[in-house]
Amino acid sequence: MEYNPFLPEVKANPYPYYAQLRQHAPVYQVEGAGMWAVSRYDDVLEVLKSPDRFSSKILMTALLGDLNPVPNASNLIASDPPVHTRLRKLVNRGFTRRMIAALEPRMRAITTELLAPLASRGACDLVHDLSTPLPVIVIAEMLGVEPDHRGQFKRWSDDIVGATNGVAGDERKRVAQSIAEFRDYFQRAIELRRTEPKNDLITALVRAEEEQQMLTSEEVLSLTTLLLIAGNETTTNLIGNAMIALLDHPETMARVSSDPTLIPKVVEEALRYDGPVQGIFRQATEDVNLAGARIPAGAMVLPLFASADRDERQFPNSEQFDIDRNTDGHLAFGFGTHFCLGAPLARLEAKIALEELLARFHRIAQKEPTVTRIDSFILRGPKTLPLTLEAIA
Ligand code: HEM
């Protein structure tokens, strides 16, 4: 068999390829890419549990290359313990469950505002009208971006996320310019918070830096960049993937519409069944034996969360979307050291988006027979999701 994550047919539907990998080549070297794909649940877990043998340091370079706006600072997602432990402790302060839960009324208000024009239209593109703007507005407000900079912030966010998929030529120049503007704006914002603290995440991070001299300004900036990369398109994809799963399973859609308390189960099963982050990079720090393969020191490793979450050994009937299953232990948010900082935020945004949609529309149907997916092998979600909507009278 051949697995190449860059091929369009694999990006369109990687799951049959993952099944083949799990069965025949659980640790597989991708032809020509020098990269080792890890596909079984236990082996993915082994990689994530072993930052000493599978380092994350390569990550920002792998994702952004020389477009990284903060190349010289340690970045949370691209550091190993003990540097990671220090950064994570500080950053956790801005993302406690209580703080996230307190955002709920505002998230609902933003969702309501975004959905308001759709009822009379009777149609929408879920990606354009709801799942893209919602996480961007939420994170902008959390960071403390002024309302008149929202448009710019959205452009910077789109460009930074776009840069992770590779850009070339004139487009690259434009993106580099946009990333420089982003850097400029947040550098000034960080300095400003020192004399004029506000009730926002930038202030919380700057305080951590001043009180304990533990986070440098560059680290705050680096973290801000990461929040855009890690938090926006991923949440967009979760909302889109969950909606696709419901559209493909009308009996579940009907059940959930009449009993919205099931929505958290939909969110969890969508994370397991069709994860927004299919896999991520690590680098072997030494020669490692894994599932009978020998990964050489220095090689790039791709633990496939989305394949692990379809592993029959862990999730019986794994290819079925079943909101009644036990989803405990799914790896859509990773595991251990780098477990997603924004998981409670993403879960809450997805829950609110689905609740508010289903509360307004009693018939939601897909306008087009097939879904076009975004062009990425790391992220998975719909590029657009045109829907027809019938509002509840
Ligand atoms: C459904 C949406 C999301 C998914 C599927 C997701 C997935 C992930 C995964 C798989 C990792 C682990 C990466 C690794 O092991 O190297 C991760 C880390 C991270 N995520 Fe998320 N994420 C989501 C939303 C968010 C949001 C909303 C934020 C914040 C606004 C966020 C911030 C982060 C950060 C900062 C890290 C790095 C944590 C660390 O290195 O300690 N994510 N995410």
Map 95-108 to HEC letters.
HCHHHHHHCHHHHH
pTM score, two decimals?
0.95
Q: Strands 386-391, 293-295: parallel, antiparallel or unpaired by DSSP? A: unpaired
Q: Is 283 helix (H, G, I), strand (E, B) or coil?
A: strand
- Mean per-residue pLDDT, 302-328: 98
Q: Which two tokens stand for residue 179?
A: 């990333």
Q: Tell me, what's the pLDDT at 276?
A: 97
E strand or H helix that includes residue 158: helix 150-163
State how far the Cα of 13 lies from the Cα of 147, in Å rounded to an integer. 39
Q: Is the pLDDT of residue 213 over 60?
A: no
Residue 78 near ligand 1, beta carbon < 6 Å: no
| Domain membership flag for residue 2 | no
The closest-lying atom of ligand 1 relative to the alpha carbon of residue 79 is 40
Q: Which residue owns the Cα nearest ligand 1 atom 14?
A: 338
Q: Tell me, what's the pLDDT at 354?
A: 98
Total tally of structural domains belonging to the chain: 1
Q: Is the pLDDT of residue 356 over 90?
A: yes
Query: How many CA atoms lie within 13 Å of 137's alpha carbon, on the beta-carbon side?
Result: 19
Q: Is the pLDDT of residue 211 over 70?
A: no
| Domain membership flag for residue 3 | no
| Domain membership flag for residue 1 | no
Q: Is the pLDDT of residue 209 over 70?
A: no
Q: Which two tokens stand for residue 164?
A: 């992770």
Q: Is the pLDDT of residue 90 over 90?
A: no
E strand or H helix that includes residue 362: strand 361-366
Domain residue limits at 259: 8-391
| Domain membership flag for residue 367 | yes
Q: Strands 35-38, 300-303: parallel, antiparallel or unpaired by DSSP? A: parallel
Q: Tell me, what's the pLDDT at 217?
A: 83
What is the CATH number for 220? Answer: 1.10.630.10
Which pLDDT band holds residue 361 (cuts at 50, 70, 90)?
A: very high
Q: Tell me, what's the pLDDT at 266?
A: 98
Q: Which residue owns the Cα nearest ligand 1 atom 3?
A: 234
From the number of C-beta atoms within 10 Å of its C-beta (0-12, 13-18, 19+), residue 150 rates as middle
Bridge partners, residue 283, by sequence: 55, 300
Q: Tell me, what's the pLDDT at 370?
A: 92
Residue 234 near ligand 1, beta carbon < 6 Å: yes
State how far the Cα of 266 lies from the Cα of 253, in Å rounded to an integer. 9
| Domain membership flag for residue 352 | yes
Question: How does pLDDT run across 267-286, given as a tens digit for each residue?
Answer: 999 999 999 999 999 999 99
Residue 231 near ligand 1, beta carbon < 6 Å: yes
Best-predicted range by mean pLDDT (4-13, 122-131, 191-200):
122-131
Question: How does pLDDT run across 254-267, given as a tens digit for each residue?
Answer: 999 999 999 999 99
Question: How does pLDDT run across 132-184, given as a tens digit for each residue?
Answer: 999 999 999 999 999 899 889 989 988 888 887 778 888 888 989 999 999 99
CB distance 204 to 94 below 8 Å: yes
77 CA → ligand 1 middle, Å: 8
| Domain membership flag for residue 221 | yes
